[in-house]
Chains A and B, each alone.
Chain A
Amino acid sequence: MTNLDHGKFTRMTTVFHSLLAMDVFFLFFTGYAIMFNDELWWMLTLMGGSGSVAALHRVFGVGLLALITFWALMMVTTDTGRSNFSEVLPTPDDAKAFVQDIQFVLGNAEERHPNARQFAGGTADEIPLLSYVGKGVIFIFAVELALLTLSGLLIWSKTGLMQYFATQTAAIAFVVFHGLLGVVMLMGIMFHIFEHGFHPAFFPVETKAFIPRSMIPEHHDDDDEGTGIERLQLSSGWASASNLAGAATVIGIVSVLTASIYDTGYPVSLELLVGGGPTNLLLTVGVNIGMLVLFFGMVLSVYGNLVRIRWEQQMAQEEGAEAEAAD
């Protein structure tokens, strides 16, 4: 049992991750109910129409601003935070890990690269804190969240900051920019849900983001070669569940990408199509499947926290039993 596999983050990070996830999920649901209103009309209506949804989006936006400010402060003002900077920096090994992942899929490599391995098992000594995907997630999300927050604040009030850009046209361009910027994040989160929900060794969720590493006992047998994954039993539901989720993730990503290409809206004079494009049944189904993937991610996040609570209770019980035995 290693804390790379079962509980990798500090308690602060696990709580932060869950709060950030919830906030971002609700920002997606409110934001894309507006931008993809052709396909997600029901979501817009369910949340009280465009006025209500825009208000909710701002509420969660404030939440996001608070969360990322808190995170930036924690990273700069604490020793633990500062020591993480070196862990995040990309190395040549990360590029090798990506190439080796492709080789592994093609059958030309026997193992995933240590910088790609999600299940460390007996090879915990070789595994860095963050995989190449993990580093990418941190970099891309940091840039995305900063730009989204900035453009979000700019369009917060059309008579506030936006007046510096002088025209309403510029305002709508920023609204469009804000929505299109979020699409990268939207697609990335769908992948993130698949990546951490459907690894066969961890299915249905990797607890490493939910159980603090302080709660995981660290011991592993060094005499084993390799990860030891062949000693784990595959869940009977994994095959169908991972195929279903993989298909939904691919359909969701392709659909929101396609929908975003049509949803331009700038320059407005030529053809105003905010939420335009073909009224297409296929696209409607696809975008809704994408939202389903997000919803599923939210459920998994809650489930991860439930697992942590059960683990806490079990640890407390075992400690209680040991204390009694000692008496």
Chain B
Amino acid sequence: MSNSTTENGVSSYSGTMIAVNAVIAVAVALGAVWVANGFNVFYERLDRVSPTADGGGIGTAFAQGNDIGWLVFMVEAIHAIDVLMGLFILVLVFVHWSAFRRLAGRMRQPGESRAMPDGGDTDTENGGDTQ
């Protein structure tokens, strides 16, 4: 489908074609840069901070004598805080994700008519996804 017609009869672009062409356009742009760059996958030879002491990374010059207890503790503690907070934040994400799904189930679904159902005994009215 290269184009579609909207409700008022005006020709317009279909969403699918916009998405497909956008993906192609990004691929062409990245591909062109890749070609211009010389056909190498370029990540390993770029300006990385050499990550080891042997490789001369940050701090290699003073890789001695760092036995300051409270600094070791501070870094270890913040690692632990990261992990604990990370797990808690993940719980919050999942709780909200699920709550949003349940709330969405109560809303009028896309394309549903504007009139409220009579009697109120449809599946969606009380949160159809509670089972």
Contacts and interface: CB of A to CB of B under 8 A. Distances in A.
B46 to A, nearest CB: 5
B78 A181 contact: yes
B31 to A, nearest CB: 15
A231 B61 contact: no
Interface in B58-83: 58-68, 71-72, 74-75, 78-79, 81-83
A200 B116 CA distance: 19
Interface residues of A, number: 72
Contacts of A102: 95
A233 B59 contact: no
Nearest to A50: B49
Interface stretch (A12-20, A86-94, A188-196): A188-196
B74 to A, nearest CB: 6
A38 B51 contact: yes
Interface stretch (B2-10, B21-29, B99-107): B99-107
B93 interface: yes
Given A233-B107, A264-B79, A272 B86 contact: no
Range for the number of chain B residues in contact with chain A: 35 or more
Interface string B28-63: 000000000000000100111101110001111111
B59 A268 contact: yes
B100 A266 contact: no
A15 B97 CA distance: 28
A119 B104 CA distance: 12
B119 interface: no
B95 A107 contact: no
A110 to B, nearest CB: 8
Contact of A38 (B48, B60, B109): B48
B75 to A, nearest CB: 5
Given A107-B102, A167-B66, 4 more contacts: A41-B48, A177-B75, A268-B59, A274-B59
The 8 residue pairs across chains A and B that have the minimum distance between CB atoms: A236-B110, A200-B104, A169-B66, A168-B62, A272-B53, A257-B86, A105-B98, A173-B71
Interface of A: 34, 37-38, 41-42, 44-45, 49-50, 101-102, 104-105, 107, 112, 119, 133, 140, 167-170, 172-173, 175-177, 180-181, 183-184, 187-188, 190-191, 194-195, 198-201, 229-236, 238-239, 242, 246, 249-250, 253-254, 257, 260-261, 264-269, 271-276
7 contacts: A167-B65, A167-B68, A201-B107, A233-B114, A234-B104, A246-B93, A246-B97
